[in-house]
Structure 1
Amino acid sequence: MRLLLFIFITGVFFSCKEKSTTPTVADYFNYGDSGVQSAGIKMIPIQTPVGTFKVWTKRFGNNPRIKILLLHGGPAMTHEYMECFESFFPKEGFEFYEYDQLGSYYSDQPKDSSLWTTERFVEEVEQVRKAIRADSTNFYILGNSWGGILGMEYALKYQHNMKALIVANMMASAPAYGRYAQEVLAKQMDSAVLAEVRAIEAKSDFANPRYMELLLPNFYKQHLCRLEEWPDGFNRAMKHVNGEIYTMMQGPSEFGVGGRLINWDIKARLKEIKIPTLMIGAKHDTMDPAAMEEQSKLVQKGRYLYCPNGSHLAMWDDQQVFMSGVIAFIKDVDEGKM
């Protein structure tokens, strides 16, 4: 009888303890700011080798256990296409941050080209982490596309400051990404369209409006975002992309890779990532979904999420699968199941 009473009391204690760690609505929306309210927006100063600049961030919620930093793609796209997380994360009580990296539309846009390196961006993310007071007990990174590159590179240097990593739709090898685009995706295009695209590329005539006229319906609509009508946030992000930085690092388009990232490859180093890591692939992605699954097995504590109807922005065109999988992963990490 005493044993049963002990078990009952212990169960009640731990149940209450668990419930007490979940933020109430009042706690969730209390940012501890007694000054002028700014809807969670804060310009964070970033130290660089060529001076101090500011980057735009927007905070949602208050949860000291779970702080998620969203890393957008591009490079030099914007947070706008990641606004869809606003429809899912608050309901789970997650604290998360939208963020425009340096050079992107809502942040400072310095002109010194020495700033646009993966290494310098990694140091920027570390400064943002410190500014949002995240650490190894609560810091999650969710990076899409180029944001996935940045997330993996950050983890390789600073995983001791992280709780978990989510890589959405980004292979760990730019050369492999380029081969997949040319050897698999290109062959799915109409032969006449592909021939015209190749002719433009051969002349490096990327400013020719015909180039995007061909790629938008025949590549972007097939492999970047498959929704018949592109979301407003994605349209704004496309409108606001910093083309100079994008071209310098990624190349002229999403149809393969060029620029400074052309030889980027950290696949052999994935085994060094010890923290729980979710790799997300999609059937119609610009990234090989089989490679994304392989990556989940190369890290030490990996999980794979496959989006059967998704493309490069599976967060939009296979939204329920994507969001459900991401949320389940975060909860499992938070509960110590990974």
Structure 2
Amino acid sequence: MILIETPIGKFNVWTKRIGSNPQIKLLLLHGGPGGTHEFFECFESFLSNEGIEFYYYDQLGSFFSDTPSDTSLWTVERFVDEVEQVRKGLELNKDNFYLLGHSWGGILALEYAFSYQSNLKGLIISSMMSSASDYVKYAENVLAKGLDPKVLKAIKDLEANNDCQNPKYMELLTPNFYYKHVCRLQPWPEVINRAFSHLNNDIYTLMQGPSEFGLSGLLKDWDRKGDLSKIQVPTLMIGATFDTMDPEHMQWMATQVKQGSVLICPKGSHCSMWDDQEYYFAGLIKFIKNVNNNEKCDSPVSV
């Protein structure tokens, strides 16, 4: 546990180290908001044998960490400060510190880089676009239109009636959306179901919103497209063909940062670390080792 300070007091957040390598230390930022480190459990099967030390970490409000109820805590700025406190607690520095953020964790990783990139050796954004409005457009114009019209209407009716807690909502979303765009493995790995069962829905709904077809919570106006050029450290953008995030936007993001490369997983979805593992991890490992050896990173990353 790492003790962090917040505007309303001190709390404990949980971390766990896997492996040992003083030259490569990778901190994982899970999605949600309100998700858990469990989505990253497959990293052990691929990174441990490659000499990459990495850290599980449940953000404040998530799973093994303290879960205060004060909603004033759930801001991007406070989460960024939390990540910096965790970095200091783990004694990570610019010579060895790699940061990977998945989904909401990608927003958090980007925001951390804007404030503290001098602490980073490398940055990885996994399945996260740089604009909430662009994400909403992609969700409405591409993802939603890929659904059966009757299914989409039933989902939209439930959302319009603020009835997303109705069991019918998940009954519609799971086979028609989640199995196509969140994780394409059938059946889902046990850990995916377990991780979803541990989601802090209060934080998720407050920041993301209840709908899976866009952002309507506190993050609805988030946009960093115009600031990507400020990121100077080597950065890998990971997307996937069937992702909830637009893979073309992920490719574009890689052209906007100073030292960008991109990896688009051809068989993957939002959780391509699960449903396109060989491609995902081959590219991720190559990127980290290239940066560690001060070698130029290909764009796109070839595997």
Question: Do both proteins adopt the same fold according to a TM-score greater than 0.5, normalized to the shorter chain?
Answer: yes
- 2:233 equivalent among 260, 270, 275: 275
> 1:207 aligned to 2:165?
yes
Q: 1:174-189, aligned counterparts within 5 Å?
A: 174-189=132-147
Find the residue that maps to 2:244 and give its secondary structure. coil
- Higher-Rg structure is 1
TM-score, with length taken from structure 1? 0.87
Which segments of 5 or more consecutive residues in structure 1 lack a partner in the other structure?
A: 1-42
Matches of 2:212 and 2:271 in 1, distance apart? 12
1:141 is paired with a residue of what secondary structure? strand
Normalising by structure 2, what TM-score? 0.96
- Please give the residue correspondences for 1:42-53 in structure 2 after superposition, counting only pairs within 5 Å: 43-53=1-11
2:208 is aligned to 250
Residue 199 of structure 2 aligns with which residue? 241
In 1, the alpha carbon distance for the partners of 2:72 and 2:59 equals 15
What is the match of residue 9 of structure 1? none
Distance (Å, rounded) in 1 between the aligned partners of 2:106 and 2:228: 13
Structure-2 separation of matches of 1:44 and 1:227:
35
Tell me the SS of whatever aligns to 1:261.
coil
Q: Please tell me the residue identity of whatever aligns with 2:71.
A: S
Of 147, 151, 172, the residue aligned with 2:105 is: 147
SS in 1 for 2:155: helix
Quick one: higher RCO (CA 8 Å, sep 6+), 1 or 2? 2
| SS of the residue 2:22 aligns to | coil
Q: Which residue of 172, 177, 181 corresponds with 1:223?
A: 181
5 Å-filtered alignment, 1:150-161, equals: 150-161=108-119
**Matched residue pairs, number?**
296
Q: Matched residue of 1:88: which SS?
A: helix
1:292 is aligned to 2:247: no
Task: Say which of 36, 59, 75 aligns to 1:78.
Answer: 36
Q: Is 1:90 aligned to residue 67 of structure 2? A: no
Question: 1:95 offset after TM fit, Å?
Answer: 1.0
Tell me the SS of whatever aligns to 1:214: helix
Which string of whole-angstrom CA distances, capped at 9 and with x for unpartnered residues, describes residues 155-210 of structure 1?
00000000010000000001110110001111110011011111111111111111
1:193: which partner in 2?
151
**CA contact 2:159–2:211 (8 Å) conserved in 1:** no
Q: Distance in 1 between matches of 2:190 and 2:99?
A: 24
Q: Which runs of 5+ in 2 are unaligned?
A: 297-303
Separation of aligned partners in 1, 2:36 and 2:211: 16
Corresponding position: 1:323 with 2:281: yes
The aligned counterpart of 2:294 is 336
Q: Offset at 1:254?
A: 2.8
Give distance in 2, aligned partners of 1:266 and 1:130: 26
Matched, 1:102 2:60: yes
Q: CA deviation at 1:100?
A: 0.3
Moved over 2 A (4+): none
**Mapped partners of 1:223, 1:275: distance in 2:** 30
1:255: how far off?
2.5
Q: Whole-Å Cα distance in 1 between the matches of residues 156 and 143 of structure 2? A: 14
- Counterpart among 250, 268, 282 of residue 310 in structure 1: 268
Q: Secondary structure at the match of 2:218?
A: helix
CA RMSD of superposed structures (Å): 0.7
Q: Is the 8 A contact 2:265 2:280 kept in 1?
A: yes
What is the alpha-carbon distance in structure 1 between the residues aligned to residue 167 and residue 191 of structure 2?
Answer: 23
**In 1: Cα distance, 2:99 partner to 2:187 partner:** 29
1:129 aligns to what? 87
- On the 8 A contact 1:82/1:233 being kept in 2, the answer is no
Give yes or no for contact 1:81–1:236 (8 Å, CA) kept in 2. no
CA deviations on 1:59-83 (whole Å, 9 max, x unpaired) are 0122111110001000011001110
Structure 2 letter corresponding to 1:252: P
Structure 2 residue identity aligned to 1:177: Y
Q: Is the 8 A contact 1:171 1:287 kept in 2?
A: yes
Instruction: Kindly state the Cα deviation for residue 130 of structure 1 after the two structures are TM-superposed.
Output: 0.6
- The aligned counterpart of 2:300 is none
2:90 aligned partner, one-letter code: I
Query: What SS does the corresponding residue of 1:259 show, helix, strand or coil?
Result: coil
Output the CA distance in 2 between the equivalents of 1:80 and 1:150. 18
